[in-house]
């Protein structure tokens, strides 16, 4: 049993003490586990796979559409990424992305749409605090560490790659 669940059970025990409903630790564990929401991991994994795959299919369809318009592969991929980020931000803004993410789990978080949601959600929540102290200050609360550590690890990887190529005599 998780520590938080045990703390909650302890809290319930304290609250119910005035009625004389004291239970020992094991009884509380059984009580809490009997009331805990059951999840099926396999079902959740399959659903996340389906939703994530559907987002990727939409992305691929966008690539095909942009290839017909711009005729350049790199530009089509860039436009697809921008479109997916825009759509994710839009869906976050109108409150639809969070509903989808609550059902699909990691299926919405793994593609680029999850990053856009991680930037847009805190910004929307902080809108009441103003654009500078709220939106701008809170925008990268979740995504900021990803950007920082992603950039830092890519620099470290680049240095290791450069040194290994230098040692191998290919540079």
User: pLDDT tens across 108-151, in order?
Assistant: 776 677 777 777 778 777 778 887 777 777 777 777 787 788 88
pLDDT of residue 15: 57
Report phi then psi at 24, rounded to 5: -80, 175
CB-side neighbour CA atoms (13 Å) of 155: 6
d(CA 52, CA 20) in angstroms, rounded, equals 50
Domain region containing 125: 41-139
**Domain check: are 52 and 95 in the same one?**
yes
**Domain check: are 16 and 72 in the same one?**
no
d(CA 91, CA 97) in angstroms, rounded, equals 5
**Domain check: are 89 and 101 in the same one?**
yes
- Is the confidence at residue 6, as pLDDT, over 80? no
**Domain check: are 22 and 53 in the same one?**
no
- Whole-structure pTM value: 0.57
Answer whether 97's CB lies under 8 Å from 108's CB. yes
d(CA 123, CA 89) in angstroms, rounded, equals 10
pLDDT, tens digit, 9 for 90 and up, residues 50-103: 988 898 899 999 999 999 999 899 999 999 989 988 888 888 888 888 888 887
Q: pLDDT-based confidence at 2, cuts 50/70/90?
A: low
Tokens of 34: 């009997």
Answer whether 101's CB lies under 8 Å from 108's CB. yes
**Domain check: are 131 and 58 in the same one?**
yes
Q: pLDDT-based confidence at 20, cuts 50/70/90?
A: very low
**Domain check: are 61 and 81 in the same one?**
yes
């Amino acid at each position: 049993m998780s520590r938080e669940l045990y703390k909650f059970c302890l809290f319930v025990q304290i609250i119910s003490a005035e009625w004389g409903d004291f239970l020992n630790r094991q009884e509380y564990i059984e009580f809490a586990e009997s009331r805990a929401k059951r999840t099926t991991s396999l079902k959740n994994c399959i659903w996340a796979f389906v939703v994530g795959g559907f987002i990727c299919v939409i992305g691929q369809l966008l690539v095909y559409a942009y290839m017909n318009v711009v005729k350049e592969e790199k530009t089509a991929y860039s436009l697809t990424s921008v479109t997916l980020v825009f759509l994710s931000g839009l869906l976050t803004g109108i409150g639809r992305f969070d509903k989808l993410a609550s059902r699909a789990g990691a299926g919405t978080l793994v593609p680029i749409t999850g990053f856009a949601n991680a930037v847009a959600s805190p910004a929307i929540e902080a809108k009441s605090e103003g654009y500078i102290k709220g939106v701008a200050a809170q925008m990268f609360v979740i995504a900021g560490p990803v950007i920082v550590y992603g950039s830092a690890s890519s620099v470290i990887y680049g240095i290791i790659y450069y040194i290994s190529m230098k040692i191998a005599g290919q540079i």
